[in-house]
């Protein structure tokens, strides 16, 4: 009990110290920026500033650098026009940054070769669906390009950054246009662009492509197990949780009757699932269930609607509170829930542990005013 009180005091003191410099929540960034904090609540600070939108942090293996997708908007005739995304490499201990671009809109960075290279996705074409894996040196030299075709945004790199799980196929459709003089004719039904969506694996160097699923149902929200042997995903409009081995074997349904669902990597024989269930209070909670299936057990009350994050040693699960302005942690069984960082007036997303498990990175931006 004493330890928890000390942790709570530290988080509150950090929150006061941080925002006494900002003045008020109105000084929070409008666009998502990267923050870091220690797992014990120490050292909360804003890592990036400016007008760019930042995405989730990908920590380098030594924990000294973070790669993040960034984008911005430009003004044209009173409208906001988004610019193609790039990968920004940020020194955690300083202000040094570098932008990596390879044409198209960059996203989903992953570190390679002990932090000497980055792999990321470059998207082009309608709805940015045509995707290429780009491997680039930190000196911005392109080392490898591997086109992987029409790919949905649902992708996940393996924990070692060597293998990409992705869904080939897209929900985009080609809508037929009416022909002159035939406006009264019954229009044809829209046609799908690309194949039915299924899960594939491919190495970052373009080798070893493997198809894992064969289903006409939509598949998304991919998540790797920490041992890199299993992939969790959500399937179908009925929103059910499934798992499959990386060799395509062991396809198994774990839970169903989900409205919103974000799986987190299994730890041993357990899985953590963030979900809104058909039965219940229709609020987002974290659940624990067996990796072989079975009824989910609630670990939390209402929390923020986003995936949880396992610490590298499997000892802690990080999540966002229901108000969206604080990072909390708990043990895998739901015990010892406490706040480690609070950013009043903010919306927090994209939790990411450092490789040594001592720090957490996340994005935060000013919470929109309620209308």
Q: Which tokens hold the place of 38?
A: 């220690």
- Which residue bears the tokens 């996940």? 156
Nearest-angstrom CA–CA distance, 148 and 117: 20
Question: Which of 229, 126, 214, 110 has its CA nearest to residue 167?
Answer: 214
Nearest-angstrom CA–CA distance, 279 and 227: 32
Nearest-angstrom CA–CA distance, 254 and 314: 21
178: left (phi over 0), alpha (psi -120 to 50) or beta: beta
Q: What is the pLDDT along the chain (371 residues), one digit of tens a residue?
A: 333 333 333 333 334 334 433 444 557 888 999 999 999 999 999 999 988 899 999 999 999 999 999 998 766 665 666 678 999 999 998 777 899 999 899 999 999 988 899 999 999 877 667 899 999 999 999 999 999 999 988 899 999 999 999 999 755 444 444 444 444 444 444 444 455 689 999 999 999 999 999 988 889 999 999 889 999 999 987 789 999 999 999 999 999 999 999 998 877 688 999 999 998 899 999 999 998 888 899 999 999 999 999 999 989 999 999 999 999 999 999 999 999 999 999 999 999 999 999 999 999 999 987 65
- Which residue bears the tokens 């020194």? 91
Return the pLDDT at 19: 40
Over its C-alpha atoms, the chain yields an Rg (Å, rounded) of 21
Return the pLDDT at 181: 45
Contacts of residue 273, Cβ cutoff 8 Å, sequence gap at least 6:
241, 255, 261, 262, 263, 264, 286, 287, 288, 289, 296
Q: Which tokens hold the place of 181?
A: 């003089």
Contacts of residue 282, Cβ cutoff 8 Å, sequence gap at least 6:
259, 276
Return the pLDDT at 73: 74
pTM of the model as a whole:
0.84
- Which residue bears the tokens 């393996």? 158
Nearest-angstrom CA–CA distance, 274 and 256: 13
Contacts of residue 169, Cβ cutoff 8 Å, sequence gap at least 6:
150, 152, 192, 194, 195, 196, 197, 198
Q: Which tokens hold the place of 186?
A: 């019954």
Question: Which of 126, 124, 90 has its CA nearest to residue 107?
Answer: 124
Contacts of residue 33, Cβ cutoff 8 Å, sequence gap at least 6:
46, 47, 48, 49, 50, 54, 363, 364, 365
Query: How many CB atoms sit inside 10 A of residue 298's CB?
Result: 13
Q: Which tokens hold the place of 119?
A: 């792999």
Q: Look at strands 86-91 and 97-100 and give their pairing.
A: antiparallel
Nearest-angstrom CA–CA distance, 313 and 69: 26
Return the pLDDT at 279: 85
């Amino acid at each position: 009990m004493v330890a928890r009180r000390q942790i709570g005091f530290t988080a509150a003191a950090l929150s006061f110290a941080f925002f006494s410099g900002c003045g008020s929540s109105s000084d929070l960034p409008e666009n998502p920026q990267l923050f870091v904090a220690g797992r014990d609540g120490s050292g909360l600070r804003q890592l990036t500033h400016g007008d760019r939108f930042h995405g989730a942090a990908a920590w380098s293996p030594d924990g000294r650098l973070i790669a993040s997708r960034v984008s911005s908007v430009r003004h044209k005739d009173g409208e906001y026009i988004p610019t193609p995304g790039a990968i920004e490499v940020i020194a955690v201990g300083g202000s040094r940054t570098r932008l990596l671009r390879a044409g198209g809109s960059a996203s989903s960075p992953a570190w390679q070769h002990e932090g000497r290279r980055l792999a990321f996705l470059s998207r082009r074409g309608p709805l940015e669906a045509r995707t290429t894996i780009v491997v680039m040196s930190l000196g911005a030299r392109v080392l490898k390009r591997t086109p992987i075709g029409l790919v949905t945004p649902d992708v996940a790199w393996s924990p070692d950054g060597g293998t990409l799980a992705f869904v080939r196929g897209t929900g985009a459709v080609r809508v037929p246009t009416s022909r002159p003089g035939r406006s009264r004719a019954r229009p044809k039904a829209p046609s799908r662009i690309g194949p039915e969506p299924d899960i594939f694996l491919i190495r970052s160097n373009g080798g070893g492509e493997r198809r894992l699923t064969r289903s006409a149902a939509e598949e998304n929200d991919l998540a790797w197990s920490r041992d890199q042997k299993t992939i969790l995903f959500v399937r179908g409009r009925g929103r059910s949780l499934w798992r499959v081995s990386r060799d395509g074997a062991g396809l198994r349904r774990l839970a169903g009757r989900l409205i919103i669902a974000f799986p987190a990597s299994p730890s041993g024989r357990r899985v953590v699932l963030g979900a809104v269930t058909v039965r219940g209070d229709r609020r987002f909670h974290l659940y624990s269930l067996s990796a072989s299936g079975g009824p989910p057990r609630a670990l939390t009350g209402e929390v923020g609607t986003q995936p949880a994050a396992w610490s590298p040693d499997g000892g802690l699960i990080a999540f966002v509170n229901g108000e969206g302005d604080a990072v909390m942690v708990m043990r895998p069984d739901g015990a010892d829930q406490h706040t480690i960082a609070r950013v009043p007036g903010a919306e927090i997303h994209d939790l990411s542990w450092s490789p040594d498990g001592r720090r957490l990175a996340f994005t935060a931006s000013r919470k929109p005013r309620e209308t």
